[in-house]
């Protein structure tokens, strides 16, 4: 098969698209012929040597999500038949024509959905649903703040918040991205191009001084203390990403006196059992809404696998709104 390979760490142009051994499905595994995948920050970090694949996943082929069709099944796999359209998450290796995954981590793609649309879903919607609903316990009527709201995960979070009867607000460093979040259901947003100072007043205005019930922090760094300051009594903060920095100074007294809950989360390092639980929760809560069009994928751009260098370069601009899709060559 053909795959995007990281032969050495460095800028986007270290990536090579070349022949790579096709994996073989064992016992309860399924071989999926990938039609489309998508790009994530983790792929950029892996390429520069700062985010190695967890044990058991390819170390030199990035790619955390895929949409494709079942090409073969292992000897004990019973859930899927050749030709079934499936999507899901992997710990690596999805920027390739084939991936091997456990049959219980796969989810069926709704019939009306294109490969590109399907590939825009797993990381964004699994992550947003798991952070906001499973871990964040979002309830109807609550106010939720999403940082980097026009990101892939951010736009999924906004839609899910609306679908759960909550009130989503958001931040972006880029004012021109906010209308896309409003179109996805965001009530209001604030642009923070230079400083986080405007955030406190925005939160006070949006919540009548109550503070945010739930914050989905996709960026970290200085956003953490600002989120703590803006949280309500008993507020919950789910820390999902660290593009704005891995370190922050927080006022511990605010965490104590507001009796806040802070949780960190990561998808990639989860065990098989945890992956199955996440896929199953997505399947029951999110998939039906995607099938009816109540929730929709958000695509920024589409690149052929052969143009993987351009895809990495595009994501690194920070100009994207939604997902960067990687299209596999036709067979």
Ligand X SMILES: NC(=O)c1ccc[n+]([C@@H]2O[C@H](COP(=O)([O-])OP(=O)(O)OC[C@H]3O[C@@H](n4cnc5c(N)ncnc54)[C@H](OP(=O)(O)O)[C@@H]3O)[C@@H](O)[C@H]2O)c1
Per CB under 6 A, residues contacting ligand X are: 40-41, 123, 127, 148, 151-154, 172-174, 177, 218-219, 240-241, 243-244, 265-268, 315, 318, 320
> Closest by alpha carbon to 1, among 98, 93, 69, 70?
98
Q: What is the smallest separation between the CB atom of 189 and ligand X, expressed in angstroms? A: 10
**Using the 8-state DSSP alphabet, how is residue 126 labeled?**
I
Q: What is the smallest separation between the CB atom of 15 and ligand X, expressed in angstroms? A: 17
Instruction: Determine the distance from the C-alpha atom of residue 324 to the mean position of all C-alpha atoms in its chain, rounded to a whole number.
Output: 11
Q: What is the smallest separation between the CB atom of 177 and ligand X, expressed in angstroms? A: 5
58 vs 154, beta carbon nearer ligand X:
154
233 vs 269, beta carbon nearer ligand X:
269
For 144, the token pair is 């939720």
177 vs 275, beta carbon nearer ligand X:
177
> Closest by alpha carbon to 297, among 115, 147, 164?
115
CB 219 within 8 A of CB 241: yes
Residue labelled with tokens 């995607």: 290
Q: What is the smallest separation between the CB atom of 83 and ligand X, expressed in angstroms? A: 30
71 vs 178, beta carbon nearer ligand X:
178
Which residue is at the shortest CB distance from ligand X? 241
Q: What is the smallest separation between the CB atom of 71 and ligand X, expressed in angstroms? A: 27
Instruction: Determine the distance from the C-alpha atom of residue 83 to the mean position of all C-alpha atoms in its chain, rounded to a whole number.
Output: 26
Q: Within a 10 A sphere around the Cβ of 229, how many other Cβ atoms?
A: 16
102 vs 312, beta carbon nearer ligand X:
312
Question: Which are the contacts of 240, defined by CB distance < 8 A and separation ≥ 6?
Answer: 127, 131, 153, 216, 217, 218, 265
137 vs 269, beta carbon nearer ligand X:
269
d(CA 255, CA 226): 12
């Amino acid at each position: 098969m053909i795959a995007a390979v990281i032969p050495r760490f460095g800028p986007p142009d270290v990536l090579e698209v070349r022949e790579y051994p096709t994996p073989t499905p064992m016992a309860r595994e399924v071989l999926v012929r990938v039609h489309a995948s998508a790009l994530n920050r983790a792929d950029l970090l892996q390429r520069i040597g700062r985010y190695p694949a967890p044990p058991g996943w390819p170390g030199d082929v990035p790619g955390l999500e895929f949409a494709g069709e079942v090409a073969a099944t292992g000897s004990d796999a019973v859930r899927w038949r050749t030709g079934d359209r499936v999507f899901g998450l992997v710990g690596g290796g999805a920027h390739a024509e084939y991936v091997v995954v456990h049959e219980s981590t796969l989810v069926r793609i709704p019939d009306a959905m294109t490969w590109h649309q399907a590939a825009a879903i797993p990381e964004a919607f699994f992550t947003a649903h798991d952070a906001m609903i499973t871990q964040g316990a979002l309830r109807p009527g609550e106010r939720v703040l999403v940082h980097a709201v026009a990101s892939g995960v951010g736009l999924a979070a906004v839609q899910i918040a609306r679908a759960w009867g909550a009130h989503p607000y958001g931040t972006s460093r880029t004012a021109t991205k906010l209308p896309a979040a409003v179109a996805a259901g965001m009530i209001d947003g604030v642009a923070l191009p230079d400083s986080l100072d405007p955030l406190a007043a925005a939160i006070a205005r949006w919540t009548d001084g109550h503070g945010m019930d739930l914050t989905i922090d996709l960026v970290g760094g200085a956003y953490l203390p600002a989120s703590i300051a803006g949280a309500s009594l008993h507020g919950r903060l789910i820390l999902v990403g660290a593009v704005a920095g891995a370190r922050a100074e927080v006022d511990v007294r605010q965490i104590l006196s507001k009796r806040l809950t802070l949780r960190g989360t990561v998808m990639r390092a989860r065990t098989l059992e945890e992956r199955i639980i996440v896929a199953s929760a997505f399947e029951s809560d999110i998939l039906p809404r995607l099938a009816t069009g109540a929730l929709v994928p958000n695509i920024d751009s589409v690149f052929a696998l052969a143009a993987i260098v351009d895809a990495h370069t595009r994501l690194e601009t920070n100009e994207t709104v939604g997902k960067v899709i990687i299209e596999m060559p036709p067979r």
